């Protein structure tokens, strides 16, 4: 046999036996047995041999030596793996502690909103997720034929039907907390925020069947639109940044009069509607809608047992997912409930 080949194979045998680590062992194995390794080249050369007897003898020799090297490699590999298992199984070796969870974006937003409003004297109060129609609609000045009361917009619950309060529903995205809070407190002043889940049978980039809403209610003597505007501006600056501007845009809601949509200047293009890449993909116009608001309708005050001739108030309702989407530039609300770890805050 070719002495050069014998010498090279002996060298590889020693390399396998003396490999300092499993990674180095695998590296040597690739060099010897890989598609472009030493044996592959030998067998390519052998295929071109014209002497049939020499080709047969050399083939038997190479296959025998290959098996020997594979056995040496296998024995060394088993040794490394046994050592690794011994280390892993050693109960005296300190283990890795469990990784700590982080706040989900929605949870973080809820905590931040609670702190922002507590600094100006608002307290938090929660109300049922399974509610009567009355507190979700009639008490809010919404007639029986209002579209929001259709089963395309509201989840109705199979349960008892009250002559006074009607059917039961999963809390819709109106405001079951306002009248309940008036009845609970009895006499103003009232400064309440209600943070809770609400439901609607929709599923698209801006709607999910279950969402979180925070509603605010302020009732006292002499409450006006200026108080509403000031509070909305305060929240926007605290939550989105001090450069954010706020505007009230006339709208129509049955439970407030007058009614407004609350908009903020886009925090991604500084309210210009454009970026260095062209039209802002977030706002398109320089403004972003937060939610609905307005002065509490006299009929709603009456349902809560409060004299509208003596007291006035304002109310609003914002989706927590919506304000979080604006703040963190999320383009699809469904991503917040996808389970993706990137929607869990790092801190």
pLDDT at 248: 95
What b/e string do you get for 224-253 counting C-beta neighbours within 10 Å, with b at 16 or more? eeebbbebbbebbbbbbeeebebebeeeeb
- In this structure, are 214 and 111 located in the same domain? yes
Q: What is the pLDDT along the chain (347 residues), one digit of tens a residue?
A: 577 788 888 888 888 888 888 888 888 888 888 888 888 888 888 788 888 888 788 878 888 888 888 888 888 888 877 776 555 555 566 666 656 667 888 888 999 999 999 999 999 888 888 888 899 888 998 888 877 777 777 888 888 899 889 899 988 876 778 999 999 998 999 999 999 888 888 777 777 888 899 999 999 999 999 999 999 999 999 999 888 999 999 999 889 999 999 999 988 888 888 887 888 877 778 898 888 999 999 999 999 999 999 999 999 999 898 888 888 888 788 888 887 777 765 44
- In this structure, are 76 and 180 located in the same domain? no
Between CA 144 and CA 149 the distance in angstroms is: 7
> CA-based diameter of the chain, in Å?
116
pLDDT at 95: 66
Rg of the chain over Cα atoms, rounded to whole angstroms, equals 36
Alpha-carbon dihedral angle through residues 268, 274, 279, 284, given to the nearest 10 degrees: 60
Could you tell me if residue 247 is inside a domain?
yes
Could you tell me if residue 113 is inside a domain?
yes
Could you tell me if residue 226 is inside a domain?
yes
pLDDT at 70: 87
- In this structure, are 81 and 201 located in the same domain? no
Could you tell me if residue 99 is inside a domain?
no
- In this structure, are 229 and 127 located in the same domain? yes
**Domain end: 38, 53, 88, which one?**
88
Domain count, the chain: 2
Domain that holds residue 150: 105-343
Token pair listed for 145: 């034929």
**Domain end: 88, 123, 145, which one?**
88
Could you tell me if residue 9 is inside a domain?
yes
- In this structure, are 137 and 279 located in the same domain? yes
**Domain end: 88, 117, 137, which one?**
88
- In this structure, are 83 and 142 located in the same domain? no
For residue 230, give the CATH number of its domain. 3.30.930.10
Residue 279, φ and ψ in degrees, nearest 5: -60, 135
Between CA 202 and CA 239 the distance in angstroms is: 27
- In this structure, are 67 and 110 located in the same domain? no
What b/e string do you get for 22-35 counting C-beta neighbours within 10 Å, with b at 16 or more? eeebeebbeebbee
Distance, first Cα to last Cα, the chain = 68
pLDDT at 43: 82
Could you tell me if residue 210 is inside a domain?
yes
Contact assessment for residue 199 and residue 161, using Cβ atoms and an 8 Å cutoff? no
| Other Cβ atoms within 10 Å of 342 Cβ, number | 10
* The model's pTM: 0.67
- Whose tokens are 């008036």? That residue is 182
- In this structure, are 229 and 80 located in the same domain? no
Could you tell me if residue 100 is inside a domain?
no
Beta bridge partners of 169: 131, 156
* DSSP code, position 129: S
Q: Vertex 123, ends 122 and 129: CA angle to 5°?
A: 125
- In this structure, are 270 and 222 located in the same domain? yes
- In this structure, are 65 and 122 located in the same domain? no
- In this structure, are 140 and 268 located in the same domain? yes
Could you tell me if residue 305 is inside a domain?
yes
- In this structure, are 126 and 239 located in the same domain? yes
């Amino acid at each position: 046999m070719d002495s050069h080949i014998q010498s090279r194979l002996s060298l590889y045998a020693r390399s396998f036996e003396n490999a300092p680590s499993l990674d180095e062992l695998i590296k040597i194995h690739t060099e010897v047995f890989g598609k472009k390794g030493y044996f592959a080249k030998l067998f390519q050369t052998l295929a071109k041999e014209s002497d049939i007897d020499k080709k047969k003898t050399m083939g038997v020799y190479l296959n025998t030596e290959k098996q020997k090297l594979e056995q040496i490699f296998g024995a060394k590999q088993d040794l490394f793996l046994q050592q690794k298992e011994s280390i892993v199984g050693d109960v005296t070796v300190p283990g890795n502690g469990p990784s700590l969870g982080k706040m989900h974006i929605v949870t973080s937003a809820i905590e931040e909103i609670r702190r922002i409003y507590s600094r100006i004297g608002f307290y938090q109060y929660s109300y049922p997720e399974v509610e009567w129609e009355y507190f979700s609609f009639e008490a809010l000045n919404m007639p029986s034929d209002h579209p929001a009361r259709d089963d395309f917009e509201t989840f109705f619950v199979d349960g008892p039907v009250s002559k006074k309060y009607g059917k039961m529903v999963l809390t819709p995205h109106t405001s079951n907390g306002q009248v309940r809070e008036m009845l609970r407190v009895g006499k103003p002043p009232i400064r309440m925020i209600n943070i809770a889940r609400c439901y609607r049978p929709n599923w698209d980039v801006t709607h999910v069947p279950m969402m979180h809403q925070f509603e605010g209610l302020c009732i006292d003597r002499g409450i006006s639109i200026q108080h509403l505007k000031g509070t909305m501006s305060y929240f926007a600056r605290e939550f989105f940044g001090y450069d954010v501007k706020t505007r009230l845009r006339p709208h129509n809601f049955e439970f407030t009069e007058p009614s407004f949509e609350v908009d903020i200047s886009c925090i991604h293009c500084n309210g210009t509607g454009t970026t260095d890449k062209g039209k802002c993909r977030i706002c398109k116009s320089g403004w972003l809608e937060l939610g609905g608001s307005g002065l509490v309708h006299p009929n709603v005050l009456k349902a809560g047992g409060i004299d509208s001739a003596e007291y006035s108030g304002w109310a609003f309702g914002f989706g927590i997912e919506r304000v979080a989407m604006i703040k963190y530039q999320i383009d699809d609300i469904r991503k917040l409930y996808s389970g993706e770890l990137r929607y869990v805050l790092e801190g």
